[in-house]
Amino acid sequence: MLDKALNNLLTYITTDTLNFSVYFALGTIYDRMANDSTLSDTNKLQAFNDAITAYTKTLSLNPDHFDAYYNLGALYVNKAAIIDLEANKLPLEETTLFDKLKMEANSYLIQAAPYLEKAIQMQPNDLNTLQTLRQIYSRTKQTEKLKEVNEKINAITR
């Protein structure tokens, strides 16, 4: 099913290269593929990179597309989560590899932050985005930003 939708969208953009909605749809398909456990690691990595390209193209055509910012940030956060799972499966004596994987995961969180920050500028009360930013700031020890986002969350949830 995804293959057919993907092929249709890829065919469509050859005739309409300025339709941001098509690029966004491509991004969502690649995004799903990047997290598809039935695909090989190579195919998942290619889908991850293709999702980044598609979401970035969406934003170049429509810089006010909240969902593209959010999804692009979430793509990086999900990549970090997969690496965290891998790290957490390691035996206790594998501290060097554990630390390396945690640093890699944090690098993806840092890449996610600007997209989610832009999304929250567009929709300041989006609780999902704020909570994700809270996790990023906490993990990456950005205390001032963490304090700010916690205040926003508290103001919304009171």
Looking at 17, 41, 63, the residue that finishes a domain is: 63
Looking at 10, 32, 63, the residue that finishes a domain is: 63
Answer yes or no: do 73 and 148 share one domain.
yes
Q: What is the largest CA-CA distance in the chain?
A: 55
Q: Give the pLDDT score at 4.
A: 87
| Segments forming the whole domain that contains residue 38 | 1-63
Residues of the chain above pLDDT 70, percent: 99
**Which residue do the tokens 């929250």 mark?**
120
Answer yes or no: do 74 and 146 share one domain.
yes
Looking at 45, 63, 81, the residue that finishes a domain is: 63
Q: Give the pLDDT score at 1.
A: 64
Report pLDDT digits (tens) over 68-120. Answer: 999 999 999 999 999 999 999 999 999 999 999 999 999 999 999 999 999 99
Answer yes or no: do 116 and 142 share one domain.
yes
Answer yes or no: do 94 and 145 share one domain.
yes
CB–CB of 75/51 below 8 Å?
yes
Mean pLDDT (the chain, rounded): 95
The domain total for the chain is: 2
- Which string of b and e fits 93-115 if b means at least 16 CB within 10 Å? eeeeebeebbeebbebbebbbeb
User: pTM for this one?
Assistant: 0.93
Report pLDDT digits (tens) over 26-66. Answer: 999 999 999 999 999 999 999 999 999 999 999 999 999 99
Greater pLDDT, 8 or 56? 56
Answer yes or no: do 48 and 75 share one domain.
no
